[in-house]
Amino acid sequence: LDVLCLDEVAISNLQNCVILGPLIQALCEAGVTVIATANKTPGKLYADGLDRARHLAPLVDAIDAHCDVYHYHSAVDYRKRLPVDDTKASVFRWSCPAQSSESLSFSDAWWGALAGTAASRVESVPVGYGRKLPVLLSQCQACVRFRFEDLCTFPPTALGAADYSVLCKQFSTLVIVDVPRLRPETHDAARRWTLFVDSCYENHARLIMSTVAKDPDDLLDLSGVDAGEGQSLQE
């Protein structure tokens, strides 16, 4: 191993804090180049965490001893500047009321394009920890369709990062219907949604969705919610 890249480092529990310092120390002493990004400086990681003063110091010392820290400040979200191909069908339908004819026609049109005329069926597929989840599955078994509440709310099912990772590894396209605006009063569902979107990104799965929100900023607004261990849910 010559180079290790860690993207968006966030320490959310004691175990991560205890492990990361000695890990970086050992890697750097072995000649491995460590490159990492984070939304906070090293000294501000794990804010308000358990035994923070005791366990964060080795991590900060390891970074100070072996790494150069650069602060890049920008108010520009360059992802929003990417060109949009207007000739392609949109995978996101904004300002679409839940359970409306517009929502149904959008999801049905995409499902028809993905699954074809062959009959779809509800089938139980594996998720994390040996469990099964009933899903609407295409005949080709590469596409699935969910209502938002079946994917991100509890009850009916308490899904987490491991479950979403398994789903996104199994299926190339996931159609999610009627995603609501996510606000502090629904922060549990919002946490599950962000874990799901992360899994789609990490596994290169295509996400198609309809939502009542008018744009990405309107979809998720949780800046005042604490996710615990010093990490904001908005991050």
Name the residue type at position 129: Y
Task: For residues 129 and 194, give the distance between their C-alpha atoms in angstroms, rounded to a whole number.
Answer: 20
Task: For residues 53 and 80, give the distance between their C-alpha atoms in angstroms, rounded to a whole number.
Answer: 38
- What pLDDT, on a 0 to 100 scale, did the predictor assign at position 231? 43
- Cβ-based neighbours of 29, under 8 Å, separated by 6 or more: 66
Of the listed ranges 130-144, 183-197, 211-225, the one predicted with least confidence: 211-225
Q: Is the separation of the CB atoms in 199 and 168 below 8 Å?
A: yes
- pLDDT over 50 (residue 230): no
Query: If you average pLDDT over residues 172-180, what whole number do you get?
Result: 97
Name the residue type at position 139: Q
Neighbours of 3 (CB within 10 A): 8
pLDDT single digits (tens) 18-38: 999 999 999 999 999 999 999
Closest to 133 (Cα-Cα) out of 173, 160, 115, 111: 160
Residue 225 pLDDT level (bands cut at 50, 70, 90): low
* CA 112 to chain CA centroid, nearest Å: 27
Peptide bond into 156 cis (omega under 30): yes
pLDDT single digits (tens) 153-168: 988 788 999 999 999 9
Helix axes 187-202, 161-170, angle to 10 degrees: 40
Neighbours of 27 (CB within 10 A): 16
Closest to 121 (Cα-Cα) out of 152, 151, 144, 99: 144
User: Residue 9 forms beta bridges with which residues?
Assistant: 38
pLDDT single digits (tens) 73-112: 888 877 778 777 766 779 999 999 999 999 999 999 999 9
Task: For residues 150 and 193, give the distance between their C-alpha atoms in angstroms, rounded to a whole number.
Answer: 11
pLDDT single digits (tens) 39-76: 889 999 988 888 999 999 999 999 999 999 999 888 88
Name the residue type at position 233: L
Q: What is the mean pLDDT of the chain?
A: 89
Residue 174 pLDDT level (bands cut at 50, 70, 90): very high
Q: Are strands 173-179 and 143-147 parallel, antiparallel or unpaired?
A: parallel
Q: Is the separation of the CB atoms in 126 and 165 below 8 Å?
A: no
